[in-house]
Protein backbone atom coordinates (compact mmCIF):
# COMPACT_ATOMS: atom_id res chain seq x y z
CA UNK A 1 0.00 0.00 0.00
CA UNK A 2 1.35 3.46 -0.85
CA UNK A 3 1.66 6.39 1.52
CA UNK A 4 -1.81 7.66 0.65
CA UNK A 5 -3.56 4.30 0.75
CA UNK A 6 -5.26 4.69 4.13
CA UNK A 7 -7.06 7.99 4.51
CA UNK A 8 -9.77 9.22 6.83
CA UNK A 9 -12.23 11.62 5.23
CA UNK A 10 -14.32 13.81 7.50
CA UNK A 11 -17.25 15.49 5.76
CA UNK A 12 -20.02 17.93 6.54
CA UNK A 13 -22.67 20.01 4.83
CA UNK A 14 -24.50 23.13 5.93
CA UNK A 15 -27.42 25.15 4.67
CA UNK A 16 -28.70 28.56 5.74
CA UNK A 17 -32.36 27.74 5.32
CA UNK A 18 -33.54 24.52 3.74
CA UNK A 19 -33.49 25.28 0.85
CA UNK A 20 -31.06 28.15 0.93
CA UNK A 21 -27.40 28.95 0.43
CA UNK A 22 -25.43 25.80 1.13
CA UNK A 23 -21.86 24.84 1.85
CA UNK A 24 -19.90 21.61 2.04
CA UNK A 25 -16.46 20.73 3.34
CA UNK A 26 -14.15 17.82 3.87
CA UNK A 27 -10.91 17.19 5.72
CA UNK A 28 -8.60 14.49 4.43
CA UNK A 29 -6.52 13.10 7.28
CA UNK A 30 -3.62 10.76 6.41
CA UNK A 31 -3.17 7.71 8.60
CA UNK A 32 0.08 9.05 10.06
CA UNK A 33 -1.59 12.09 11.67
CA UNK A 34 -1.96 11.62 15.45
CA UNK A 35 -5.44 10.94 16.82
CA UNK A 36 -7.15 13.91 18.48
CA UNK A 37 -9.32 13.58 21.56
CA UNK A 38 -12.87 14.92 21.75
CA UNK A 39 -12.77 18.62 22.48
CA UNK A 40 -9.33 19.21 20.99
CA UNK A 41 -9.08 21.68 18.14
CA UNK A 42 -8.09 20.16 14.83
CA UNK A 43 -5.20 22.10 13.33
CA UNK A 44 -6.08 22.84 9.71
CA UNK A 45 -2.45 22.19 8.80
CA UNK A 46 -2.81 18.54 9.91
CA UNK A 47 -5.36 17.85 7.19
CA UNK A 48 -6.00 18.72 3.57
CA UNK A 49 -9.28 20.62 3.49
CA UNK A 50 -11.57 21.80 0.76
CA UNK A 51 -14.96 23.47 0.74
CA UNK A 52 -17.50 24.71 -1.75
CA UNK A 53 -21.00 26.07 -2.02
CA UNK A 54 -24.21 26.05 -4.00
CA UNK A 55 -27.30 28.20 -4.11
CA UNK A 56 -30.03 27.23 -3.83
CA UNK A 57 -29.40 23.94 -2.08
CA UNK A 58 -30.45 21.77 0.84
CA UNK A 59 -28.56 20.39 3.80
CA UNK A 60 -28.78 16.84 2.43
CA UNK A 61 -27.43 17.87 -0.97
CA UNK A 62 -24.51 19.59 0.73
CA UNK A 63 -23.79 16.51 2.87
CA UNK A 64 -23.69 14.42 -0.31
CA UNK A 65 -21.50 16.96 -2.13
CA UNK A 66 -19.01 16.88 0.74
CA UNK A 67 -18.64 13.10 0.51
CA UNK A 68 -18.48 13.09 -3.30
CA UNK A 69 -15.74 15.72 -3.33
CA UNK A 70 -13.81 13.92 -0.58
CA UNK A 71 -13.93 10.61 -2.47
CA UNK A 72 -12.86 12.35 -5.68
CA UNK A 73 -9.83 13.72 -3.83
CA UNK A 74 -9.01 10.30 -2.37
CA UNK A 75 -9.35 8.71 -5.80
CA UNK A 76 -7.02 11.34 -7.26
CA UNK A 77 -4.45 10.45 -4.62
CA UNK A 78 -4.63 6.76 -5.60
CA UNK A 79 -6.10 5.79 -2.23
CA UNK A 80 -7.02 2.15 -1.93
CA UNK A 81 -8.91 2.28 1.34
CA UNK A 82 -10.72 5.15 3.00
CA UNK A 83 -12.78 5.72 6.10
CA UNK A 84 -15.56 8.25 5.62
CA UNK A 85 -16.68 9.93 8.84
CA UNK A 86 -19.99 11.80 8.55
CA UNK A 87 -22.51 13.20 10.99
CA UNK A 88 -25.26 12.53 8.46
CA UNK A 89 -27.31 9.38 8.98
CA UNK A 90 -28.94 10.25 5.66
CA UNK A 91 -25.59 9.74 3.90
CA UNK A 92 -24.41 6.74 5.91
CA UNK A 93 -27.67 4.80 5.79
CA UNK A 94 -28.40 5.93 2.25
CA UNK A 95 -25.16 4.53 0.82
CA UNK A 96 -24.94 1.40 3.00
CA UNK A 97 -28.61 0.37 3.20
CA UNK A 98 -31.24 2.29 1.28
CA UNK A 99 -29.53 2.59 -2.11
CA UNK A 100 -29.91 -1.12 -2.82
CA UNK A 101 -33.70 -0.91 -2.39
CA UNK A 102 -33.91 2.34 -4.36
CA UNK A 103 -32.15 0.77 -7.33
CA UNK A 104 -34.29 -2.36 -7.13
CA UNK A 105 -37.43 -0.19 -7.03
CA UNK A 106 -36.41 1.95 -10.02
CA UNK A 107 -35.18 4.81 -7.82
CA UNK A 108 -38.37 4.94 -5.79
CA UNK A 109 -38.58 4.98 -2.01
CA UNK A 110 -40.49 2.38 -0.02
CA UNK A 111 -43.40 4.85 -0.18
CA UNK A 112 -43.15 4.74 -4.02
CA UNK A 113 -41.91 8.34 -4.19
CA UNK A 114 -38.95 9.39 -6.37
CA UNK A 115 -35.66 9.34 -4.47
CA UNK A 116 -34.50 12.87 -3.70
CA UNK A 117 -30.99 13.76 -4.86
CA UNK A 118 -30.82 10.78 -7.23
CA UNK A 119 -28.13 12.52 -9.30
CA UNK A 120 -25.85 12.80 -6.28
CA UNK A 121 -26.60 9.27 -5.03
CA UNK A 122 -25.61 7.87 -8.42
CA UNK A 123 -22.38 9.90 -8.42
CA UNK A 124 -21.57 8.85 -4.86
CA UNK A 125 -22.26 5.20 -5.58
CA UNK A 126 -20.03 5.21 -8.67
CA UNK A 127 -17.14 6.71 -6.68
CA UNK A 128 -17.64 4.46 -3.66
CA UNK A 129 -17.54 1.41 -5.91
CA UNK A 130 -13.96 2.28 -6.95
CA UNK A 131 -12.57 2.25 -3.39
CA UNK A 132 -12.67 0.16 -0.26
CA UNK A 133 -14.83 2.41 1.92
CA UNK A 134 -15.67 2.07 5.60
CA UNK A 135 -18.58 4.32 6.58
CA UNK A 136 -18.63 5.75 10.12
CA UNK A 137 -21.13 8.00 11.80
CA UNK A 138 -20.15 10.59 14.39
CA UNK A 139 -22.56 12.72 16.39
CA UNK A 140 -22.47 16.26 15.09
CA UNK A 141 -21.62 19.16 17.39
CA UNK A 142 -20.27 16.74 20.00
CA UNK A 143 -16.65 17.85 20.00
CA UNK A 144 -15.05 15.58 17.38
CA UNK A 145 -12.16 17.82 16.24
CA UNK A 146 -12.33 17.12 12.52
CA UNK A 147 -16.13 17.09 12.40
CA UNK A 148 -16.08 20.50 14.08
CA UNK A 149 -13.49 21.72 11.55
CA UNK A 150 -15.66 20.56 8.64
CA UNK A 151 -18.75 22.10 10.20
CA UNK A 152 -16.98 25.44 10.50
CA UNK A 153 -15.68 25.29 6.90
CA UNK A 154 -19.08 24.23 5.48
CA UNK A 155 -20.89 26.97 7.39
CA UNK A 156 -18.35 29.54 6.18
CA UNK A 157 -18.90 28.35 2.59
CA UNK A 158 -22.68 28.68 3.01
CA UNK A 159 -22.22 32.21 4.35
CA UNK A 160 -20.04 33.10 1.34
CA UNK A 161 -22.77 31.73 -0.96
CA UNK A 162 -25.36 33.84 0.85
CA UNK A 163 -23.16 36.93 0.57
CA UNK A 164 -22.44 36.43 -3.13
CA UNK A 165 -26.17 36.02 -3.71
CA UNK A 166 -26.86 39.22 -1.78
CA UNK A 167 -24.23 41.07 -3.84
CA UNK A 168 -25.94 40.28 -7.16
CA UNK A 169 -27.74 43.20 -8.82
Residue of 80, 141, 144, 148 marked active site? 141
Region class of 17: left (phi > 0), else alpha (psi between -120 and 50), else beta: left
* Ligand-binding site membership of 44 (annotated): no
Residue of 94, 144, 148, 151 marked active site? 151
* Ligand-binding site membership of 151 (annotated): yes
Residue of 52, 63, 94, 144 marked active site? 63
Residue of 12, 22, 23, 94 marked active site? 12
Helix H segments across the chain? 59-76, 89-93, 99-104, 118-128, 145-166
Q: Is 13 annotated in the active site?
A: yes
Q: Is 140 annotated in the active site?
A: no
* Ligand-binding site membership of 87 (annotated): yes
CA–CA separation, 77 and 64 (whole Å):
20
* Ligand-binding site membership of 167 (annotated): no
Q: Is 151 annotated in the active site?
A: yes
Q: Is 100 annotated in the active site?
A: no
CA–CA separation, 44 and 146 (whole Å):
9
Q: What is the 3-state secondary structure (H, E, C) of 114-140?
A: ECCCHHHHHHHHHHHCCCEEEEEECCC
Q: Is 119 annotated in the active site?
A: no
Q: Is 156 annotated in the active site?
A: no
Residues of each annotated binding site: 12, 63, 87, 151
Residues of each annotated binding site for Mg(2+): 12, 63, 87, 151
Active site residues: 12-13, 63, 87, 141, 151
Amino acid sequence: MNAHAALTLYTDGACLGNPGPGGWAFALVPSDVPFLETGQTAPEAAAFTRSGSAYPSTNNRMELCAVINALQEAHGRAAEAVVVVTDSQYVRKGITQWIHTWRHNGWKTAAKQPVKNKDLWEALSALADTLSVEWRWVKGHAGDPYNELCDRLATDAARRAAQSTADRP
